[in-house]
Structure 1
């Protein structure tokens, strides 16, 4: 088991790979009848998520390389974020914030896949700036539960993870600009 900050996208991706990829024993395995066919040795949804994450990072680094020669991506999923940031370190302004938003969104996706929907509640609503955000599993969106943050029909304001990540990164950039 690896110790460290489990709130970074890189650590969440490592946790997904190391702890959630292979299925563990069922909580009540002794009460279930044996299957005639073996189960898959890995959780395919987690595998697909990890692969999509690494592919998106690789594609983003390739598109934003600006003619620079590419360093080979190091093995291991835990190194994917470090490599992507190093490959796109030359980006400035809006392009760097887009990279940071992609990484932050992926971290939120990792947390939700691991069952940590409280990662959404750590953000203020981009519209009303209150702390009423929650994850809506069926619609796969972020919902603001503030009763004043709704449209004319009374529907709560919703956000995608990409919108929430962009808002978070933009707020961090604005705070950093004010601090200097």
Structure 2
């Protein structure tokens, strides 16, 4: 697996953990009505997102390598755990694991507001560098008017599609180099 992808996903997961799961202090800005129930000290949606990401990596690794040792306790460490336990698999299974890790790295970046990660990918249809993130649709869209055609909606792509294409192009470059 591309160690850069596992590192990137782990770093972004640590960033999410540090920024969004630490309790925030709010200054007292004067008098206000007291709530009957205290607010959750962290964003529960982010915790659920992080757990879903970890669960996906663990379940994929367990399916591909049932004899793998237990996963690590920290969320960001599961990517290296997956890498270590899927390194011996055939190319197709390793590539499937790489796609998951790369897609999650993109998702983590978007979760913290970094939409530039989408612009670093060429359009899968026309090859131009005109992709941008449509948060409402949760898809990347090509801005090249020649790609979509006159009067048609822009072509859109899921993060999974971008990840598959990225990993496949990297693998083909490695095969051509050897």
- TM beyond 0.5: yes
Q: 1:8 to 1:35 in 2, by over 3 A?
A: farther
- List gaps (5 residues or longer) in structure 2: 1-6
Quote the residue 2:58 is aligned against.
Answer: 58
- Aligned counterparts, 1:1-180, within 5 A: 8-25=8-25, 30=29, 33-36=32-35, 37-65=37-65, 69-150=67-148, 153-180=151-178
CA–CA distance in structure 2, aligned partners of residues 93 and 171 of structure 1:
14
Greater relative contact order structure (CA < 8 Å, 6+ sep)? 2
Shift of 1:94: 1.9
Shift of 1:170: 0.5
Choose between structure 1 and 2: higher helix proportion. 2
Q: Which runs of 4+ in 1 moved over 2 A?
A: 22-26, 28-35
Q: 1:116 to 1:31 in 2, by over 3 A?
A: farther
TM-score by length of structure 2 reads 0.88
Q: 138-147 or 152-161: which moved more?
A: 152-161
| CA shift digits 1:120-161 (9 cap, x unpaired) | 111111111111001101111110111111156511000000
CA–CA distance in structure 2, aligned partners of residues 72 and 20 of structure 1:
26
Shift of 1:33: 3.8
| CA shift digits 1:83-115 (9 cap, x unpaired) | 011111122222211110110000000000100
Task: Please tell me whether the aligned partners of residues 150 and 156 of structure 1 are also in contact (alpha carbons under 8 angstroms).
Answer: yes
| CA shift digits 1:38-58 (9 cap, x unpaired) | 211111111011000110001
Output the aligned Cα RMSD. Answer: 2.1
TM-score by length of structure 1 reads 0.87
Task: Please tell me whether the aligned partners of residues 8 and 105 of structure 2 are also in contact (alpha carbons under 8 angstroms).
Answer: yes
